[in-house]
Structure 1
Amino acid sequence: MSLIARMGAMLLVLFIAVPIVSSTSIGSKNCTKKEFWSKDNDDCLPIGGPLTPPPPPPKGKACPPSTHYWGKKQGCCVPLNPSPEQGPPPQCRGAWVWKSTVRSCVPVPTPPKPSPPKPSNHHHNGHDNNGHGGYRQKRSALLKSRSAPLCPTGLDACPISGAKGGDYECLDTATELESCGGCTSLGSGQNCTAIPGAWNVGCEEGYCTVYTCAGGFKRSKDGKSCIQL
């Protein structure tokens, strides 16, 4: 083959290859150094989230607390950092579950409540079987209820932050993600979902454990945090 023929063949290969390369890299090369390309959102997103506070999600939706925020432009939850390769779905709060079709957390469906039992035909006249009045039994039962613990054995009564009237919830702080090892509303324990860079976490025997870190982070040796690369 002559030199001219060889050069012509090389130019033909370059002419064909250039558009192929540019078409497969559309999007990722358009991101700045402070952004990353999100395949799920098909957009460049700011690393670590936006500079201004994002808007809250609409009613009936929520975002994973430590890894996502609500993107008004995208209309869904968008990640703060790149998603881990072949990682599990984002982790939502306790009573919420990630729904990939709407890319946000939605409430876990609650099963229907059973029908209340029908009233008995037996009428109680306020006396016990011996004909004595039942006031003493009712009063002792009332006193017993007042002295009883707020929560069943094994659960801690944790005040609900921002609630009025002393409302509380009974939590198993040995496994509760947002009050691991103690009630965070009382200043004890740890909120495992607030660990920076964590993608999936757990609460094991009152201690937070990181299972997966987001892209740009690696799991610490003790498995309790994520270290930024």
Structure 2
Amino acid sequence: MRFSTALLFVSALLPFAAATYPTGQSNCGNDQFKWGNDCLPKGGPPQSTTTKPPNGSDCPPTNYYWGSKQGCCVPKNPPPTTNYPEPQCRKNWTWYPALRKCLPTPTPPSPPPSTPSKYNGNNGNNGNNGNNHYKKRTHKSRSTLCPTGLDACPIKGLAANDYECLDTYTELESCGGCTSVGKGQDCTSIEGAWNVGCEQARCVVYTCAAGFQLGLDRKTCISL
């Protein structure tokens, strides 16, 4: 009786496993691969036919897109065959395997502001000096677009004066320069890449999707 119960439990899990992980056998076409119960196009569908994830959700930019039918992020290429890392979300986003999508990374609550001392120490002179220092800091922040070490990159599709401050030495989508103005490189656009990084303003490929081999320069994935 216990053996029969165990068999029923295992058989109940099989549909869940098949729907969650890619299967080895496939009845898909040559230009497709099996992912769960679906046949997905190798390389992903044309960008013009894809839809954006719902508000508050995102997909890993390197090798995923939003699958409207599946209601989650699906890969453009089959994953590496063994020990492949989790999908790589954008900065300040975290991958949730159960939901198969990226969600905003929770931020810890800010500590309450400290109460300033009422004692000025020198008949109010320190308060005046503090005001002068504040004015200098305000003037400095207005004279520069971004803090030191960050580049002001225009945001495509928005007004000319809209920009974001990026560290182009580590930013995946603007590695080595602002790609919105034709500089640097978008590491997430490397064909066949599964996980990538931006190290010292240069794209580096860590893992390639199945069907691709890591190039000797660690900057490309070569189709097999």
Residue type at the aligned position of 1:105: C
Structure 2 Cα separation of the partners of residues 83 and 50 of structure 1: 17
Is 1:181 paired with 2:176?
A: yes
What CA RMSD, in Å, does the superposition of the two structures yield over aligned residues? 3.3
Deviation for aligned residue 1:213? 0.8
| Closer, same or farther: CA 128–221 of 1 in aligned 2, 3 Å | same
Is 1:161 paired with 2:156?
A: yes
Deviation for aligned residue 1:130? 9.6
Residue type at the aligned position of 1:178: E
Percent identity among equivalent residues?
55
Give runs of aligned pairs for residues 6-21 of structure 1, distance below 5 A.
none
Deviation for aligned residue 1:74? 1.2
Normalised TM-score (structure 1): 0.74
Residue type at the aligned position of 2:217: D
Match of 1:68 in 2: 64
Match of 2:200 in 1: 205
Structure 1 Cα separation of the partners of residues 104 and 142 of structure 2: 35
Match of 2:32 in 1: 35
**Unaligned 5+ residue runs, structure 1?**
1-25
Residue type at the aligned position of 1:173: T
On the 8 A contact 1:66/1:198 being kept in 2, the answer is yes
Match of 1:11 in 2: none
Residue type at the aligned position of 2:65: Y
1:26-84: CA deviation from partner (whole Å, max 9, x where unpaired): 9834212221112xx33222222235612211111111123111111111111111111
Select the residue among 51, 55, 58 that pairs with 1:55: 51
Is 1:84 paired with 2:80?
A: yes
Match of 2:18 in 1: none
Say which one has the larger Rg. Answer: 1
Give runs of aligned pairs for residues 73-112 of structure 1, distance below 5 A.
73-86=69-82, 87-112=84-109
Structure 1 Cα separation of the partners of residues 156 and 111 of structure 2: 31
**Unaligned 5+ residue runs, structure 2?**
1-22
On the 8 A contact 2:26/2:33 being kept in 1, the answer is no
Structure 1 Cα separation of the partners of residues 138 and 92 of structure 2: 34
How many residues matched?
Answer: 200
On the 8 A contact 2:154/2:161 being kept in 1, the answer is yes
Select the residue among 195, 200, 213 that pairs with 1:218: 213
Structure 1 Cα separation of the partners of residues 110 and 159 of structure 2: 27
Deviation for aligned residue 1:151? 2.8
| Closer, same or farther: CA 113–227 of 1 in aligned 2, 3 Å | same
Match of 1:19 in 2: none
